[in-house]
Structure 1
């Protein structure tokens, strides 16, 4: 484990809090986020992550810096698949585009909390039971197989556990009320569909954590490295969604690239676990090689996608076209 100075933890926490506050202030008025605005914010989040990575290099050394960069890029690439699910959720609930950023803002806060819990548990388990890495590798191999076979997760936003539990705890009205999560009806406090959308987003992130947590633990078993890299990748997810919302279908080879990356990380986990539990003579894959593989595969899948457009029949569900903005814009008239 790294000897991380307290001030570095404090600097990370302060950076996240201040960044979220600035983001919230900048988007205090609901509006449709266009490509240019999303690209600017995406560049800001990427720049922030890289600056923090430079600090990690300087303070904790080359190995830690390389692990951070690899883990951040890995999580960033895996989270792209979340964007398709976001589009499905927004389409299902007919979320007005002006309110989508508000939903993702609170969804990101929840993701930061839950990822912190899962990663802490993962680090604790791996430190005590190294053999669990073999199980993590199997999870990644299975996920890679599903991506190669184009077996999508049958995620129904309305039937997700989080949404069903929300409806049992608090009544949920059918119509939106602007950007509000709660309103009063007949003297009682009821939730708007916007809160159900946040619950669905959180449920989707929990599903994707099944892949991302084992993957990042293959890069590093240090709590500071795995959490900070995950946090900065998650923080930039909203801007990435709005920047790529209209281009998701064009990157049809990305799922194949992610499958290769997951399989590679699975092999890395097997070698890592074998090195620790079977024989120290079994080689491990260094972080610089892992970083290079991720970069090459990602770049290759993007370039191939742009050079070979997808056939119309193979396109994945895209984001909602442009639902009306206003209090009366609501989800489909169904039990969700």
Structure 2
């Protein structure tokens, strides 16, 4: 029943999202609309976990069933919070790409929709593979834990540094394989120059978004398996975190500079979750403590970001590979 409920909900949500996208056409998403949709997605997630809790006997007379229902609900909420937090970092990378390629605001939502669909497919595949690996090889949990700790340390040292997209291997590979037009042609992926079919910057952005999806999926899947190895909770918490990604992007796109310390918080969360996984056979840290630790770290870094101003010269944007500046000094694709 719960699998059916989840499947129906995701299909309906995606259809509504596509319908709204096609109806609105190419126009900029307002902060107000993004805030409303973000609240709707968060509310839907908690309604779903409430149904899961109820369906597992959270209100039933059996104490054992109530305990299981409570544990699964906590696992979902913790996993959802961790994945949502990692999605924020994902959003900042999307923002960097959109700024780097000067993607017009009215075209960004379609690119994000494609990225979300790709992320859903990738997460589903990786979760199935991860669940199978854990069921067959228990020691893989230690590999996941070590990977999370390493990723967290690496994220900590990289925080505050200017990303060098010009020397990014993925972008270099795309440039070698494709002839790229200097201008956008609406939302088209290909255009014609002198009768020759060439790729637009829009296609390059979509390809790089797909690569980003792969990288973040590899980071986030071990993180959720540190919370629970239940495939249902792993998949549903991931999917619900991703479904609201597009609305959250437009909500946070204008506020990324205010949360300049958040990458440090995300790094600490990854180290915390990785350590929990490494200690799984020595001491099993309760899910409630994982939830409280994650929420405290993220809340603290967001509050500190508002209290402590960024250092002078701290990087806030990127460069533009296809153009220069217009007459008003604004960067654009030439």
Asked whether the two chains share a fold, i.e. TM above 0.5, the reply is yes
Q: 1:254: Cα distance to partner?
A: 1.1
Q: Would the aligned equivalents of 1:174 and 1:330 in 2 still touch at CA under 8 Å?
A: no
Q: Retained in 1: the 8 A contact 2:165–2:171?
A: no
Q: 2:26 aligns with which of 6, 27, 30?
A: 30
Give the whole-Å Cα distance in 1 for the aligned partners of 2:145 and 2:256: 28
Correspondence for 2:316? 316
Counterpart of 2:128?
Answer: 120
Structure-2 change in CA distance of 1:238 and 1:97 (3 Å): same
CA distance in 2, matches of 1:226, 1:236: 17
CA shift for structure 1 position 331: 4.0
Q: Which residue of 2 aligns with 1:156?
A: 165
CA distance in 2, matches of 1:308, 1:107: 33
Instruction: Calculate the TM-score normalised by the size of structure 2.
Output: 0.84
Contact 2:118 2:213 in 1 (8 A): no
Residue in 2 that maps onto 1:13: 7
Are 1:261 and 1:297, in contact at CA under 8 Å, matched by a contact in 2?
yes
Name the counterpart of 2:82.
74
CA distance in 2, matches of 1:92, 1:57: 44
Show the counterpart of 1:295. 295
Deviation at 1:175, TM superposition (A): 2.5
1:41 alignment partner, one of 27, 34, 37? 37
* Cα distance change, pair 132–246 in 1 and its aligned pair in 2 (3 A): same
Check conservation: 1:245, 1:318, Cα contact below 8 A: no
2-structure distance, mates of 1:153, 1:146: 14
- Displacement of 1:222 after TM fit? 1.5
The answer to whether the Cα contact below 8 Å between 2:174 and 2:204 also exists between their aligned partners in 1 is no
State how 1:231-242 maps to structure 2 within 5 Å. 231-242=239-250
Alignment match, 1:200: 208
Kept in 1, the 8 Å contact 2:50–2:73? The answer is yes
Please report how far the alpha carbon of residue 180 of structure 1 lies from its aligned counterpart in structure 2 after TM superposition: 2.5
Structure 1: which 5+ runs fail to align? 1-6, 276-281
**Aligned residues of 1:89 and 1:157 also touching (Cα < 8 A):** no
> How big is the alpha-carbon RMSD for the aligned residues of Structure 1 and Structure 2?
2.7
* TM-score, with structure 1 as normaliser: 0.84
Q: Contact between 2:223 and 2:270, CA under 8 Å: does it hold in 1?
A: yes
Partner Cα distance (2:52, 2:258) in 1: 35
What is the distance in 2 between the residues matched to 1:43 and 1:290? 24
Give the Å deviation of 1:173: 3.5
How far off is 1:231 after superposition? 0.7
Q: 1:239 to 1:13 in 2, by over 3 A?
A: same
Partner residue in 1 for 2:53: 57
Distance 2:71 2:146 in 1: 26
What 5-or-longer segments of structure 2 have no aligned partner?
57-68
- For residue 149 of structure 1, give the secondary structure of its aligned residue in structure 2: helix
Write out per-residue CA displacement over residues 168-217 of structure 1, whole angstroms, 9 at most, x where no aligned residue. 4x765433221223456788765432222111111112112232111111
> Does the 8 Å CA contact 2:180/2:198 hold for their aligned counterparts?
yes
